[in-house]
Amino acid sequence: MITVALTKGRLFKDFTDYLENNDLTQYIKPLSEETRSLYTVVDNVKFIFAKGPDVPTYVESGVADIGIAGSDIIAEDKFNILNVSQLPFGDCHFSVAGLPGQGEMKTIATKYTNVASKYFREKKMDVSLVHLNGSVELAPLLGLTDGIVDIVQTGNTLKDNGLIEYEKIMDIHARLIANKRTFYTKEDEIYKFLTEIGVF
């Protein structure tokens, strides 16, 4: 049996949509069932459900053999894993956003302080970062910061809160990641699963 770490968030819906679009019915129903269980087993594959930032940790430790994670998570933190390949779903991007007419941005709220720090450092901009864990759109609305760095998919959340994108930082995609040891010791089982879902 192999173990696959998934996140029960935006990326999970993109993954199940991908399965449905490719008629992979043996996985769709078990993964789509409403349940409080943190894992499910389909054939010889155990799927575990974790928070997005924790998926690489489960893979790194060997609790999971492979996982699906956003490249945003991999860009923000360092993990001792195999970053195997880009997957054909989960597309979005990092952007700098703020209120219309905002002048020079000196303060930025973000969950992704490492990504933001690297970006502004490369731009040679002196910016103070405020770390927030969620609803970063509130920060410029309430005057906490001049702008934000956040993930943008459709742009609807920014629009609904009266914010606009100023600069795109980088593209984000779903990535297949793997444990450095079990990717090889369970090579046959992993390859069979990845071939079934059309990744390899």
* More confident of the two residues 43 and 184: 184
**84 with 177, same domain?**
yes
Report the C-alpha dihedral over residues 50, 67, 12, 46, rounded to 10 degrees: -70
Per-residue pLDDT of 162-179, as tens digits, reads 999 999 999 999 999 999
Contacts of 17 (CB under 8 A, 6+ apart): 89
Inform me whether the pLDDT recorded for 10 exceeds 90.
Answer: no
Sign of CA dihedral 54, 56, 57, 58: positive
Mean pLDDT of 57-86: 96
CATH number for position 111: 3.40.190.10
Residue 153 and residue 135 in one domain: yes
Percent of the chain with pLDDT over 70: 100
pLDDT at position 31 is 85
* Domains: count for the chain: 2
| Mean pLDDT score, 44-49 | 94
In this structure, are 15 and 60 located in the same domain? yes
Q: Could you tell me if 156 and 186 lie in one domain?
A: no
Dig out the tokens for 107 from the structure: 């303060």
Backbone phi and psi for residue 69, each to the nearest 5 degrees, phi listed first: -135, 150
Are 76 and 99 found together in one domain?
A: no
pLDDT surpasses 90 at 84:
yes
Report residue 46 as tokens: 């155990």
Q: Where are the beta strands (DSSP E) in 34-91?
A: 39-42, 45-50, 66-70, 82-86
Residue 175 phi/psi, 5° resolution? -125, 140
pLDDT of residue 33: 74
* Model confidence pTM above 0.85: yes
According to the model, what pLDDT value does residue 27 have?
Answer: 84
Q: Tell me which H or E stretch contains 127.
A: none
- 80 confidence band (pLDDT: 50, 70, 90): very high
Residue 29's pLDDT is what? 79
Summarize pLDDT for 96-129 with one digit per residue, the tens.
999 999 989 999 999 999 999 999 999 999 999 9
Percent residues over pLDDT 90 in the chain: 84
Q: How confident is the model at residue 17 (pLDDT cuts 50, 70, 90)?
A: very high
pLDDT at 79 over 80: yes
Q: Mean pLDDT over residues 71-75, rounded?
A: 95
74 shares a domain with 37? yes
**Which residue range is the domain that position 15 belongs to?**
2-90+173-196
